[in-house]
Amino acid sequence: MDNPPLSRGVEQAVGNNWAMLVTYPLERTAMKRRALLAGIAGLVTTPSFARRLRPHPLRVGVVGAGILGTSIALHLAESGAEVTLFEAHAPARGATQNSYAWLNGFVSDPHYRDLRLASLARWRWLDAHYGLGISWGGYLNWGAGDAGAALVHENAAQLAGSAAPITDLAVEDIGRYAPYLTPGPVSAALYAPNDGHIDPVSVTERLLTAAQRAGARLLCPSRVEGLHIQNGRLRAAATTSGYVELDRLVIAAGTATPTLTAMAGTPLTLAHAPGILSHTRPVGPFTLLTHEGPGEASFKQLPSGHIVAYDAPRPPDLAAHAGIRAAEMDYPSEALRREHGERMLMHLSRFCPKIRVSDFERLTLGFRPMPIDDRPIVGALHSVPDIHVAVTHSGVTLAAILGRLVSSEVLSGTRSAVLSPYRPERFG
């Protein structure tokens, strides 16, 4: 599990202060401790004596096998906890399966940006250890006209002063990075080499396999329907697969998180934030980049060859989308699904002729777990400190570092200063 060269790269990418968080070998320490205990136990002939030598591992439940809950489960299991992961439907089937899944540091608040950059570095570390198949192609952004240039400059300003490199591009440079583009008139462009993107389902499945190898138990389908709390301490979770005694619980249930925190006496509100992506069938591989052109026209290509595209972060303001703009529900109709998906590909094909409407495969609709101030909500609940919450937009970007930080808080009982701006109690 050692990786010294990466550690130096991490320092360059996120600065010294964050490098510790990304590479600090909690897992290694825990594994060595377990190996040592197993060794001692092996020397002792009576099983009961061996059992007495082994410390009782903390029994931690994690609600939700999306990318965030799965990363937390992996980090907990690698650190020696006895982990049970509860999933009501199937792993990676919530917001995670419908995510654009761009790993990036772009946000105006410098602390939040650095948390995201630390997560990118942690993703590199996890990728190196678990073979996650992340596409580390960087991000290419270009704009047209004064308004387009302003957006590109705004993006560049967000990374300015961070340890993440960013390059201003001249129009002629775009062709060097992405010869397949027909970008149209360009007024400003940038390249951020640090960024990546993933296939969120495949990466979650790989994290889950690693978590299970480290001893985590997946109960699926298993819905957490109630919590047994006595004198302010968690005793157990009541689930559709039975009553499970627990010492700690992490709620990482995406948009369902408020239902679970309410069971522990902490109300939370999330904003309603639908998002639509259009997917092509697999086409020959041509790029690892994440692209964003005028009008937020965005696309990337997965290692499987599928192109994933979107042309606006929210559904269009059309009568047909009124339902999904108001509530979490299925797409209005199959015909509309195809029509909208093809229209998105048509729009994107202006910038990239490799995107063809005839290659349309499916349109996906997802609902982001979106805190009302757009910031992650992470930490122990004041109402029941044995219960932690982790819910955020950009959960794909953040899953790596939050897995690391949340598991450490759960196991040590010590609050990490890094997470102080993101506590649930800021909502009162």
Q: Footprint of ligand FAD on this chain (CB under 6 A)?
A: 63-69, 86-89, 93-96, 98-102, 223-224, 252-254, 256, 260, 275, 277, 366, 368-369, 392-397
Q: How far is the CB of 131 from ligand FAD (least distance, A)?
A: 21
Q: How far is the CB of 249 from ligand FAD (least distance, A)?
A: 11
| Residue whose CB is less far from ligand FAD, 11 or 367 | 367
Q: How far is the CB of 146 from ligand FAD (least distance, A)?
A: 26
User: Could you give phi then psi for residue 388, rounded to 5 degrees?
Assistant: -110, 155
Q: Which residue is nearest to ligand FAD (CB)?
A: 66
Residue 83 pairs in a beta bridge with: 60
User: Cα angle at 21 between 123 and 196, to 5 degrees?
Assistant: 20
The percent helix, strand, coil of the chain (3-state, each to 5) is: 45, 20, 35
Cα–Cα dist 398/121, whole Å: 11
Q: How far is the CB of 31 from ligand FAD (least distance, A)?
A: 25
| Residue whose CB is less far from ligand FAD, 186 or 366 | 366
User: Cα angle at 391 between 119 and 328, to 5 degrees?
Assistant: 125
Q: How far is the CB of 86 from ligand FAD (least distance, A)?
A: 4
Is residue 236 within a helix (H) or strand (E), and if so which, with residue range?
strand 233-239
| Residue whose CB is less far from ligand FAD, 187 or 204 | 204
| Residue whose CB is less far from ligand FAD, 73 or 152 | 73
Cα–Cα dist 161/113, whole Å: 11
Cα–Cα dist 287/297, whole Å: 16
Q: Are 248 and 61 in contact (CB under 8 A)?
A: yes
Q: Are 182 and 353 in contact (CB under 8 A)?
A: yes
Q: Is 280 exposed, middle or buried (0-12, 13-18, 19+ CB in 10 A)?
A: buried
| Residue whose CB is less far from ligand FAD, 37 or 288 | 288
Q: How far is the CB of 95 from ligand FAD (least distance, A)?
A: 4
| Residue whose CB is less far from ligand FAD, 84 or 187 | 84
Q: How far is the CB of 112 from ligand FAD (least distance, A)?
A: 12
| Residue whose CB is less far from ligand FAD, 186 or 308 | 308
| Residue whose CB is less far from ligand FAD, 178 or 300 | 300
Q: How far is the CB of 311 from ligand FAD (least distance, A)?
A: 12
Q: How far is the CB of 171 from ligand FAD (least distance, A)?
A: 26
Helices marked H in 225-382: 257-263, 322-326, 334-349
CB atoms closer than 10 angstroms to residue 82: 17
Strand runs labelled E in 78-166: 82-86, 102-103, 139-143
Closest CA to 127 of 210, 184, 24: 210
| Residue whose CB is less far from ligand FAD, 50 or 323 | 323
